[in-house]
């Protein structure tokens, strides 16, 4: 049984609604789905747990991914929609009809109360939009909330635009909490309230022009509140966009086009509010100014039953937790993965049985081919990222990497799994300029031609631009001293779902000549930079101490040792190198499995680790209130299109297994496996030492090298571990003993 609830956008009345003034909120057609399911998939979101508690029901599963874009929340009110969808799913499960308006009101009351349990500061306007749908005027009344649907004037045009980066508003809310009585702050708040009333009146009169004017007044009031609090609430992109569009600054009075930050300001979505739609040229200019079009429409439906479509059902059924997986035969493991990741068994068999690549394809891929070289293909289980289970394909030759990462991911799961976010997929094209006689003049000329260069860069990659990518920014730097006469121009290209090396190289080559002309210089190298520090991934986990305990040590003791290990790496580059190698064990295995360029990833990661001039750990660990918190940040240029994926069926299958829909999602997965590997290594070193677990697994390859086959591999491995003699000679002796042969004869078996 599933229910869906829409996300929301605030138009007017943010802040003011908290003091009893009206707010206008729109429900939008991106939905959170809640499903009443078995315990394994239960959501850990506090507002959903609170709904279930209030209804004395099991906690439903939640899919809020449609409210995210490229791994980043859009600020469409996912927690309000999750609470509403959860209450809707539970009531529908109990036989209530969500098409009945009184049931939707009941859902609103429950979700509102549960939402306040966990977010007492919220206005509840987002909950009302999610429950009722459409455009809603909301105002607080005592402890309750009045919410009335309203029709938008037909001439009113609104379009959503996404800021290409996140802005935080919690600082502003905190500052406001302490300064609301100050005269300037109170004046700005009164202006917001006045705009809120004007917005309500305009809608009730059905006047689009008046509503746009109320929007303009709201933006002005928000900007002055931001100035008073010394925290920008209207992002600088808005002024920049008005400038490129040739619109008067909003501070100068009435405007026929308003760019309005939705919500408390600074948020991720900006509304175009006018009595006309933006033209194509205006949309392109807005995107250049950092405001990208976001496909959103008004959702006339509030919470409603969603009998899951096939795709949705499959997404929710995906589990990365398959207990006892390692004990299964290879064939049974394939079946389990095929089932969980919704893969076809024939496709899976065909792609990975023999390495997935034949000699003739290899011959067309690189030069001087004489054969194909295979490596083991495995899966890391238990990975949960931002509330979703993900199966991680791994290609790696080192024993214990996969077991360690799976085990660590299971430990992280006990703390709710990983949270992850990824930057936009930006990679720099570098153009070296030589014999620059007048560096300052060159800087000026290049800066003045910024728009021309970016357009030229876009023209070099039309396919990428058509898919929403392209040149975003440009930076010129002087290198060395006057005697070097050298500059570099970095052009930052959004590569969307490609790794981007070839694309970016094409850009560098296309713009090199023109840059040299502008700088009166000679063009040198034109190539991408693999230090893509604008394309970073950040992942985090919070593990309860108990989950870290071993047979001999308490979780608190292990956590302390791990934090000490982290500090060791932070203070010593020799240790940091090995610390990072452990992280790359996990990252590289996913990168290789999905056909990505691991040399590029390695080069970028280590350069990033040394960016302050000293080589440092990419991940660090700290104890926080009975939890160990790990954070990892590294640049990751991965692709889900192009490159090796064109030719390698196993890489394509690996990618399908992950379910990644964007390059950013794949990068988040690789980073989470990297943090798992790091956790496993640090935990082992803080407790039993690395060799105990490692040797147990290494023993199996030693046993194979000594000639053991079939069941004998496990028997011999066990024996040499017990004897503490994990060497090929030791294994030969153990094998001879198993086979009842003289010790020397097994040498022959091994060769």
* Minimum distance of ligand NAD from residue 660's CB (angstroms): 12
Contact window for ligand NAD (CB under 6 A) among 30-38, 560-568, 639-647, 726-734: 639-647
Nearest to 273 by CA among 232, 221, 238, 236: 238
666 binds ligand NAD (CB under 6 A): no
Q: Which stretch binds ligand NAD (CB under 6 A): 41-49, 329-337, 637-645, 724-732?
A: 637-645
- Judge whether 212 and 155 are in contact, CB under 8 Å: no
Q: How far is the CB of 503 from ligand NAD (least distance, A)?
A: 4
For residue 468, how many other CB atoms are within 10 A of its CB? 12
Tell which one of 432, 620, 644, 687 touches ligand NAD (CB under 6 A). Answer: 644
Q: Cβ(177)–Cβ(323) under 8 Å?
A: no
Decide whether 77 or 425 has the Cβ nearer to ligand NAD.
Answer: 425
Task: Pick the closer one to ligand NAD by CB: 193 or 504.
Answer: 504
Strands annotated E in 165-265: 257-261
Whose Cβ is closer to ligand NAD: residue 274's or residue 498's?
498
From the candidates 597, 633, 648, 656, which is the catalytic residue?
597
- Please report, as residue ranges, which positions from 435 to 464 form the binding site for ligand NAD (by CB under 6 A): 463-464
| 694 has catalytic annotation | yes
Q: Which residue, 83 or 531, is less far from ligand NAD as judged by CB?
A: 531
**Exactly one of 71, 290, 565, 643 binds ligand NAD (CB under 6 A); which one?**
643
Is residue 531 at the binding interface for ligand NAD, with CB under 6 A as the rule? no
* Other CB atoms within 10 Å distance of the CB of residue 298: 15
Contact 226, 265 (CB under 8 A): yes
Would you say 118 or 465 has its CB closer to ligand NAD? 465
Give the x/- contact pattern for ligand NAD in 569-608, rule: CB under 6 A: ----------------------------x--x--------
Largest Cα–Cα separation, the chain:
100
Name the catalytic one among 19, 58, 256, 398.
398
Q: How far is the CB of 587 from ligand NAD (least distance, A)?
A: 16
Cα distance between residue 292 and residue 407, in whole Å: 40
Letter string b/e over residues 477-498, b meaning 16 or more CB atoms within 10 A of that residue's CB? ebeeeeeebbbbbbbbbbbbbb
427 is a site residue for ligand NAD (CB under 6 A): no
Minimum CB separation of residue 529 from ligand NAD in Å reads 9
407: CB partners within 8 A, 6+ apart: 382, 680
What DSSP string runs through 126-171? HHHHHHH-SEEEEEEETTEEEEEEEPPPTT-EEEEEEESS----HH
Cα–Cα distance, 542 to 544 (Å, whole number): 7
Question: In whole angstroms, how close is the CB of 366 to ligand NAD at the nearest point?
Answer: 11
State which residue, 126 or 597, has the beta carbon closest to ligand NAD: 597
- Residue 104 beta carbon to ligand NAD: minimum distance, rounded to whole angstroms: 38
How many residues of this chain interact with ligand NAD, rule: CB under 6 A?
22
Q: In whole angstroms, how close is the CB of 583 to ligand NAD at the nearest point? A: 20
Burial classification of residue 159, based on how many CB atoms lie within 10 Å of its CB (0-12 exposed, 13-18 middle, 19 or more buried)? buried
Which residue, chain included where needed, has tokens 């899951």? Answer: 308
Q: Tokens standing for 158?
A: 């609104």
In the complex, minimum distance from the CB of residue 268 to ligand NAD, in angstroms, rounded to a whole number: 22
Residue in the structure block whose two tokens are 């610390």: 579
Whether residue 398 lies in the annotated active site: yes
Show the binding pattern over residues 320-349: x = contacts ligand NAD (CB under 6 A), - = does not: ------------------------------
Q: Closer to ligand NAD by CB, 177 or 466: give it.
A: 466
φ and ψ at residue 384, rounded to 5 degrees: -130, 125
Whether the CB-CB separation of 381 and 328 falls below 8 Å is answered with no
Of 197, 520, 581, 606, which is the active-site residue? 581
Burial string for 659-686 (b: 16+ CB within 10 Å, else e) reads: bbebbbbbbbbbbbbbbbbbbbbbbbbb
State which residue, 47 or 458, has the beta carbon closest to ligand NAD: 458
Cα angle: 15, vertex 21, 24; to 5 degrees: 75
Active site residue 597: yes
Helix or strand or coil: residue 701? helix
Among the listed residues 41, 616, 694, 698, the single catalytic one is 694
430 binds ligand NAD (CB under 6 A): no
Spacing of C-alpha 706 from chain mean position: 45
Q: Which residues pair with 137 in a beta bridge?
A: 24, 148
User: Which residue of the chain is nearest ligand NAD when measured via CB?
Assistant: 642
Cα–Cα distance, 592 to 589 (Å, whole number): 5
Q: Which residues have a Cβ under 8 Å from the Cβ of 312 and sit 6 or more positions away?
A: 2, 33, 63, 306
Which residue, 372, 391, 354, 365, is CA-closest to 650?
354
Phi/psi of residue 229, nearest 5 degrees? -85, -5
CB of 450 to ligand NAD, least distance (A): 24
CB of 664 to ligand NAD, least distance (A): 11
**Chain residues 17-76 in contact with ligand NAD, contact rule CB under 6 A:** none
Please say which residue, 303 or 600, places its beta carbon nearer to ligand NAD: 600
Q: Closest approach of Cβ 497 to ligand NAD, in Å?
A: 4
Smallest gap from residue 648 Cβ to ligand NAD (A): 10
Give me the long-range contacts of 329-335 (CB less than 8 A, separation at least 24): 333/379
Residue placing its CB nearer to ligand NAD in the complex, 20 or 462? 462
Nearest to 666 by CA among 30, 63, 70, 6: 70
Give me 529's structure tokens: 């930079």
Q: Is 291 in a helix, a strand, or coil? A: strand
Q: Restricting to residues 459-518, name those near ligand NAD by CB under 6 A.
A: 463-464, 467, 469, 495-503
The 3-state DSSP composition of the chain as helix, strand, coil percent (nearest 5) reads 50, 20, 30
283 interacts with ligand NAD by CB under 6 A: no
As measured in angstroms, the least distance from the Cβ of 597 to ligand NAD is 4
Considering only 280-288, 431-439, 586-594, 638-646, which stretch makes contact with ligand NAD by CB under 6 A? 638-646
- Tokens, residue 462: 């039309």
Which are the catalytic amino acids? 398, 581, 597, 694
Residues making contact with ligand NAD (CB under 6 A): 463-464, 467, 469, 495-503, 528, 530, 597, 600, 639, 641-644
């Amino acid at each position: 049984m599933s229910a869906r609830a829409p996300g929301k956008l605030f138009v007017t009345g943010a802040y003011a609604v908290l003091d009893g003034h009206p707010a206008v909120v729109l429900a939008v057609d991106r939905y959170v789905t809640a499903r009443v399911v078995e315990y394994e998939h239960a959501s850990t979101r506090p507002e959903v747990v609170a709904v279930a508690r209030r209804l004395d029901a099991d906690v439903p599963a939640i899919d809020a991914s449609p409210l995210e874009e490229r791994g980043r929340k859009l600020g469409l009110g996912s927690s309000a929609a999750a609470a509403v969808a959860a209450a809707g799913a539970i009531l529908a499960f109990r036989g209530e009809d969500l098409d009945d308006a009184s049931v939707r009101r009941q859902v609103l009351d429950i979700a509102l109360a549960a939402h306040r349990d966990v977010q007492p500061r919220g206005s509840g306007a987002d909950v009302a939009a999610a429950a009722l749908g459409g455009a809603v005027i909301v105002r607080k009344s005592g402890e309750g909330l009045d919410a009335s649907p309203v029709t938008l004037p037909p001439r009113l045009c609104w379009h959503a635009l996404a800021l290409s980066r996140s802005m935080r508003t919690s600082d502003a809310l905190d500052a406001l909490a302490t300064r609301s009585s100050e005269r300037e702050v109170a004046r700005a708040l009164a202006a917001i309230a006045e705009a809120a009333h004007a917005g309500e009146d305009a809608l009730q009169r059905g006047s689009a022009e008046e509503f746009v004017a109320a929007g303009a007044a709201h933006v002005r009031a928000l900007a002055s509140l931001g100035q008073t609090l010394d925290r920008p609430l209207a992002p600088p992109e808005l002024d920049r966009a008005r400038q490129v569009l040739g619109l008067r600054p909003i501070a100068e009075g009435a405007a026929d086009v308003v760019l309005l930050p939705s919500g408390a300001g600074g948020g991720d979505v900006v509304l175009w509010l006018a009595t006309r739609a933006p033209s194509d040229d205006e949309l392109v200019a807005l995107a250049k100014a950092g405001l990208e079009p976001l496909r959103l429409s008004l959702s006339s439906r509030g919470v409603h039953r969603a009998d899951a479509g096939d795709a949705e059902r499959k997404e929710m059924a995906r589990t990365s937790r398959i207990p006892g997986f390692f004990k299964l035969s290879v064939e049974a493991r394939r079946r389990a993965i095929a089932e969980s990741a919704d893969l076809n068994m024939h496709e899976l068999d065909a792609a990975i049985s023999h390495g997935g690549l034949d000699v003739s394809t290899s011959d067309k891929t690189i030069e001087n081919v004489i054969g194909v070289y295979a490596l083991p293909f495995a899966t890391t289980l238990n990975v949960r990222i931002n509330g979703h289970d993900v199966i991680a394909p791994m290609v790696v030759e080192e024993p214990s990497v996969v077991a360690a990462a799976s085990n660590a991911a299971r430990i992280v799961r006990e703390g709710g799994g990983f949270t992850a976010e990824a930057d936009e997929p930006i990679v720099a094209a570098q153009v070296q300029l030589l014999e620059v006689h007048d560096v300052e003049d060159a800087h000026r000329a290049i800066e003045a031609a910024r728009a021309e260069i970016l357009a030229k860069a876009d023209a070099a990659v039309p396919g990428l631009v058509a898919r929403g990518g392209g040149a975003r920014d440009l930076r010129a730097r002087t290198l060395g001293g006057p005697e070097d006469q050298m500059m570099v121009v970095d052009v930052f290209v959004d590569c969307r779902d490609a790794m981007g090396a070839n694309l970016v190289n094409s850009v560098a080559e296309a713009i090199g000549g023109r840059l040299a002309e502008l700088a009166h210089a000679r063009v040198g190298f034109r190539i991408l930079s693999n230090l893509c520090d604008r394309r970073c991934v950040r992942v985090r986990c919070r593990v309860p101490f108990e989950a870290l305990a071993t047979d001999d040590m308490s979780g608190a003791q292990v956590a302390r040792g791990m934090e000490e290990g982290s500090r060791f790496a932070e203070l010593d580059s020799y240790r940091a190198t090995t610390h990072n190698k452990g992280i790359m064990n996990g990252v590289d295995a996913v990168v290789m499995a999905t056909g990505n360029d691991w040399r590029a990833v390695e080069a970028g990661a280590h350069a990033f680790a040394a960016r302050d001039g000293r080589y440092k750990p990419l991940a660090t660990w700290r104890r926080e209130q009975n939890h160990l918190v790990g954070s990892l940040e590294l640049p990751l240029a991965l692709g889900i299109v192009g490159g090796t994926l064109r030719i390698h069926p196993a890489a394509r299958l690996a990618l399908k297994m992950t379910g990644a829909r964007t390059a950013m999602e794949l990068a988040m997965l690789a980073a989470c496996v990297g943090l798992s590997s790091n956790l496993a290594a640090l935990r082992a070193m803080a407790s039993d030492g690395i060799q105990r677990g490692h040797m147990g697994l290494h023993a199996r390859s030693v046993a194979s090298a000594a000639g053991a086959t079939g069941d004998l591999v496990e028997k011999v491995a066990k024996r040499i571990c017990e004897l503490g003699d994990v060497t090929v000679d030791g294994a030969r002796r153990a094998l001879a003993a198993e086979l009842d042969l003289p010790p020397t004869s097994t040498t022959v078996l091994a060769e």
